[in-house]
């Protein structure tokens, strides 16, 4: 599985490069409102950008080029259609540029096409991971998690603590037979002013390996929630001595749990999706935590049927992500 992990990391970096390619011409970023079954019901208006779509298609193409047998099993958040044009990674930079140039100005189309076709060679030391049956793997991609923060960051309109640093690329692998997440990659493209970083994890059976980060720090009294969370739930934790924080982006919050910057993340409603949680779930399991449903504490799985409506991929019973079983026990006590 080492080769699979390497490919998923490189695919995340390809998506990250596409996201970064938009930042020099902020007024050229093509944004479209999602409609119908494609939209997230949490938002009055849900958006995607041309970067979301091209980043997803670029990551998919890289994965499939290494593992053709996974072609039907690589899924992502975004529909490939944008303003009536189906966006695909073409066979070379020039053809991808031509397809993009029908939607966006020449300079932006050129930059994005070059990013989508750039060579990725991250120099990462990866351990030897146990093999899994490749035919039993499925992949979930969230090409640019926190799109609203991405848009505001690119446009220079983000509030302090928001914007581009909250953006993540999420790629997770799961077993088709059981639905359990086994490999996760979180890429934070704009970390430290664009230096970026990658966090990964492998979790299967008794083998739990992850990219221990030098910034790892654990504070068992910090819990993350959305600003739209039920006030009653927020107050329960505050009155129990927890520090409740609200930061943007589901992937961003889950990354903070994986890094030990928070002990848990709670969502009581069905506002996250499989592509939001698959990759972080595998990493959090690798560090000794887990991700369960909020309502009944059952495992979240990822082997849903293909081509369902967006709402069918929702984590409808909410989520609880936590760093250890002792934290989970305390969360249960407070919630009940």
Q: Is the CB of residue 77 less than 8 Å from the CB of residue 56?
A: yes
Its pTM stands at: 0.93
**Rounded CA gap, 254 and 269, in Å?**
16
**Residue 148 pLDDT:** 92
Q: List, in order, residues 6 or more apart from 102 with CB less than 8 Å away.
A: 85
Q: Which residue numbers in the chain have pLDDT < 70?
A: 25-28, 33-46, 213-219
pLDDT tens digits, one per residue of 264-312: 999 999 999 999 999 999 999 999 999 999 999 999 999 999 989 999 9
Q: Which domains does the chain have, with CATH numbers?
A: 2-210 (3.30.540.10), 222-335 (3.40.190.80)
**Residue 136 pLDDT:** 97
**Residue 26 pLDDT:** 59
**Residue 121 pLDDT:** 81
């Amino acid at each position: 599985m080492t080769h699979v992990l390497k490919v998923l990391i490189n695919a995340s970096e390809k998506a990250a490069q596409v996201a970064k390619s938009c930042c020099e011409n902020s007024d050229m970023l093509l944004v479209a409102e999602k409609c119908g079954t494609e939209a997230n019901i949490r938002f009055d208006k849900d958006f995607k950008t041309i970067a979301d779509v091209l980043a997803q298609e670029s990551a998919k193409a890289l994965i499939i080029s290494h593992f053709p047998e996974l072609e039907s099993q690589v899924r992502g958040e975004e529909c490939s259609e944008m303003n009536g044009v189906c966006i695909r990674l073409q066979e070379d930079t020039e053809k991808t540029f031509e397809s993009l140039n029908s939607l966006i100005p020449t300079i932006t189309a050129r930059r994005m096409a070059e990013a989508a076709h750039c060579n990725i060679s991250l120099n990462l030391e990866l351990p030897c991971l146990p093999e899994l049956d490749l035919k039993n793997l499925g992949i979930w991609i969230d090409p640019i998690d926190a799109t609203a923060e991405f848009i505001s960051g690119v446009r220079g309109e983000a509030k302090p603590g928001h914007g581009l640093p909250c953006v993540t690329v999420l790629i997770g692998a799961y077993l088709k037979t059981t639905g359990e997440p086994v490999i996760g990659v979180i890429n934070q493209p704009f970390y430290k002013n664009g230096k970026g970083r990658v966090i990964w994890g492998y979790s299967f059976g008794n083998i739990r390996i992850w990219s221990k980060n030098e910034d790892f720090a654990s504070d068992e009294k910090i819990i993350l929630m959305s600003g739209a969370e039920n006030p009653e739930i927020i107050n329960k934790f505050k009155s129990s001595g927890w520090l409740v924080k609200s930061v943007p982006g589901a992937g961003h919050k889950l990354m903070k749990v994986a890094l030990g910057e928070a002990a848990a993340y709670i969502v009581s409603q069905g506002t996250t999706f499989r592509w939001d949680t698959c990759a972080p779930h595998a990493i959090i399991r690798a560090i000794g935590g887990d991700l369960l449903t909020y309502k009944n504490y059952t495992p979240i799985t990822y082997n849903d049927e293909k081509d369902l409506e967006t709402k069918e991929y929702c984590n409808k019973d909410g989520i609880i992500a936590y760093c250890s079983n002792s934290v989970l026990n305390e969360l249960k006590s407070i919630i009940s």
